[in-house]
């Protein structure tokens, strides 16, 4: 079954016919919200808003382990993570959508593994390609069919937040090879891999990253851009489910 983790601007999936809200406790504590079980075009789906139902949980305090454990527990094996990012690569202007193929992790102090006790050497996951190639391919094909433009590939730099970056930090990320910057892909992607779930990010470029335009970055701008992109995001999700 497919699970969707909604980011900023996607606290609700309006086309989802919800038949159950599932409040789960996990070995890692509570997920960000109840999990919504429902249907789009007769296909089952689990939806979870990453920042909570009312966007009250900042990126560094999200219980990533509980979120993914809960989804896995309900039978989710493919995760589509929707996330707002800042664009670093000039190809990634505000309003564009991208499917990154790499991650650079700058986060710190987050619970980043399901293994606290009972670790063994075979539990070191291979993370050469952090995103699932098959699910990425399906996402790109679906979008092409629906004539929605998705940028194929790019490195997603994950910062600690919740503050945005300095101009110098963005210059450094660009030198490191990052194409976009966000705050939530890690440890989400790694924990999904530990749980053997296929994971892919649909990134909504909400703004030019810090220092790359004359304007300051406002939350209003980020919200407006993500809201504007939602119709396309819904269509991609629908296509992925029914395709
Ligand atoms: N930086 C980090 N995270 C973000 C940004 C950004 O510029 N925009 C949306 N999420």
Quote ipTM for the complex.
0.99
Answer whether 159 contacts ligand 1 (Cβ < 6 A). Answer: yes
Helices 133-145 and 219-242, axial angle in degrees (round to 10): 90
Q: What is the pLDDT of residue 69?
A: 98
Rg (C-alpha) for the chain, rounded Å, is: 17
Structure confidence by residue, pLDDT tens digits, 151-173: 999 999 999 999 999 999 999 99
Is residue 27's pLDDT more than 90?
Answer: yes
Structure confidence by residue, pLDDT tens digits, 118-130: 788 888 999 999 9
Q: Is 179 left (phi over 0), alpha (psi -120 to 50) or beta?
A: alpha
Rounded to two decimals, what is the model's pTM?
0.96
What does the alpha-carbon distance between residue 221 and residue 215 come to, in Å, rounded to a whole number? 11
Ligand 1 centroid – CA 22 distance (Å): 30
Structure confidence by residue, pLDDT tens digits, 132-157: 999 999 999 999 999 999 999 999 99
Answer whether 207 contacts ligand 1 (Cβ < 6 A). Answer: yes
Residue environment code for 44-81, b if the CB has 16+ CB neighbours within 10 A, otherwise e: ebbbbbbbbeebebebeebbbbbbbbbbbebebebbbb
Ligand 1 centroid – CA 208 distance (Å): 9
């Amino acid at each position: 079954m497919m699970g969707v983790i909604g980011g900023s601007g996607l606290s609700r999936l309006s086309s989802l016919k919800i038949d159950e809200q599932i409040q789960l406790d996990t070995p890692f504590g509570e997920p960000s919200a109840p999990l919504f079980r429902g249907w789009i075009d007769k296909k089952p789906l689990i939806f979870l808003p990453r920042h909570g139902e009312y966007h009250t949980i900042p990126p560094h305090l999200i219980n990533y382990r509980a979120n993914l454990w809960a989804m896995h527990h309900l039978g989710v094996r493919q995760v589509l993570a929707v996330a707002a990012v800042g664009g670093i690569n000039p190809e990634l202007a505000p309003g564009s959508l991208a499917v990154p193929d790499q991650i650079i992790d700058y986060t710190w102090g987050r619970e980043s593994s399901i293994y606290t006790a009972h670790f063994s050497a075979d539990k070191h996951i291979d993370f050469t390609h952090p995103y699932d190639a098959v699910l990425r391919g399906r996402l790109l094909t679906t979008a092409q069919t629906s004539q929605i433009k998705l940028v194929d590939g790019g490195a997603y730099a994950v910062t600690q937040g919740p503050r945005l970056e300095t101009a110098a930090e963005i210059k450094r990320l660009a030198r490191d090879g990052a194409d976009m910057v966000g705050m939530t892909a890690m440890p989400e992607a790694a924990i999904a891999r530990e749980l053997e779930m296929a994971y892919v990010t649909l990134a909504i470029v909400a703004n030019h990253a810090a220092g790359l335009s004359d304007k300051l970055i406002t939350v209003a701008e980020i919200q407006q851009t993500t809201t504007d992109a939602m119709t396309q995001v819904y269509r991609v999700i629908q296509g992925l489910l029914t395709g």
